[in-house]
């Protein structure tokens, strides 16, 4: 998906701050992606893992996992992040 773009948050300072959200099918995939990010992209800040229950589903199996990557310098390539997520049957969420 080449049309994925980072979410830009200017916050209280007014300076741009990018946040990338990778959507993965399960916790194991999300953890593996989170572990691969520092090595492949040189990120210093640990990504945040978030369980995203699908609407109307109570079963723990029916959940996607999000890997939230802060990118204050805006230097991460969305296409490369999407390719990484795709290796684990996931994708980079477009704004």
Instruction: Give the C-alpha separation, 95 to 81, whole Å.
Output: 14
Give the range with max mean pLDDT: 2-11, 72-81, 82-91. Answer: 82-91
Of 48, 44, 42, 3, nearest to 21 (Cα)?
48
Report percent pLDDT > 90 for the chain.
61
Neighbouring-strand partners of residue 22: 67, 92
pTM over 0.85: no
Tokens of 20: 């990338």
Is the pLDDT at 63 greater than 50, yes or no? Answer: yes
Of the candidate CATH numbers 3.30.70, 3.40.50, 2.30.29, 1.10.1760, the domain formed by 17-92 belongs to: 3.30.70
**Tens digits of residue pLDDT in 24-43:** 999 999 999 999 999 999 99
Determine the Cα–Cα distance for residues 80 and 25; give it in Å rounded to an integer. 18
Question: Where do the domains of the chain lie?
Answer: 17-92
**Mean pLDDT across the stretch 45-57?**
82
The C-alpha atoms of residue 3 and residue 1 are separated, in whole angstroms, by 6
Q: Write down the mean pLDDT value for the chain.
A: 83
State the Rg of the chain over Cα.
13
């Amino acid at each position: 998906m080449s049309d994925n773009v980072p979410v830009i948050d200017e916050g209280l300072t007014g300076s741009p701050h990018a946040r990338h959200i990778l959507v993965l099918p399960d916790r194991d995939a999300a953890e593996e992606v989170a572990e691969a990010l520092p090595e492949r992209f040189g990120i210093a800040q640990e990504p945040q893992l978030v369980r995203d229950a699908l609407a109307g589903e109570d079963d723990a199996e029916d959940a996607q996992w999000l890997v939230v990557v802060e990118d204050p310098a805006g230097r991460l390539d969305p296409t490369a992040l999407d390719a990484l997520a795709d290796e684990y049957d996931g994708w980079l969420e477009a704004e």
